[in-house]
Chains A and B, each alone.
Chain A
Amino acid sequence: MALKSFIYGHIVKEEVFPDQATIIEEGKYGDWVYVVMEGRVKTKKRTSKGMFTIDTLGEGAVVGEVPFLKKTDKLRTASIIADGQVKLGVLDKDRLEKEYEELSPQLKSLIRTIAIRLDETTKRASLLAAG
Chain B
Amino acid sequence: MTEGKKIPPIVYLSYAKGELIIKGGDYGISIYKILEGNVRIFRAQGQRKITLATLGRGEVFGEMTFFNFLLEPRSASVEAIDDVQVEVWHPALLADEYKKISPMLRYVVRHTLNRLLKLNKLVGDLAAERRQTTGNLPG
Contacts and interface: CB of A to CB of B under 8 A. Distances in A.
A61 B119 contact: no
Interface in A88-131: 91, 95-96, 99-100, 103-104, 106-107, 109-118, 120-122, 124-125, 127-129, 131
B107 A110 contact: no
B108 A110 contact: no
B109 A111 contact: yes
Size category of the binding interface on chain A:
35 or more
A8 to B, nearest CB: 10
B67 interface: yes
**Interface centre among A95, A118, A131, by most B CB within 10 Å?**
A118
Contacts of B33: 106, 109
Chain A contact residues: over half helix, strand or loop, or mixed? helix
A110 B113 CA distance: 11
B120 A99 contact: no
A65 B111 contact: yes
A64 to B, nearest CB: 10
Interface string B24-36: 0000000101000
Nearest to A54: B119
Contacts of A127: 138
29 contacts: A6-B104, A6-B107, A55-B115, A55-B118, A55-B119, A57-B115, A62-B112, A65-B111, A69-B112, A96-B104, A104-B94, A106-B31, A106-B33, A106-B94, A107-B98, A109-B33, A109-B60, A110-B60, A110-B67, A113-B61, A114-B67, A117-B53, A117-B116, A118-B115, A121-B116, A124-B123, A124-B139, A125-B122, A128-B130
Interface of A: 4, 6-7, 9-10, 33, 54-55, 57, 61-62, 65-66, 69, 91, 95-96, 99-100, 103-104, 106-107, 109-118, 120-122, 124-125, 127-129, 131
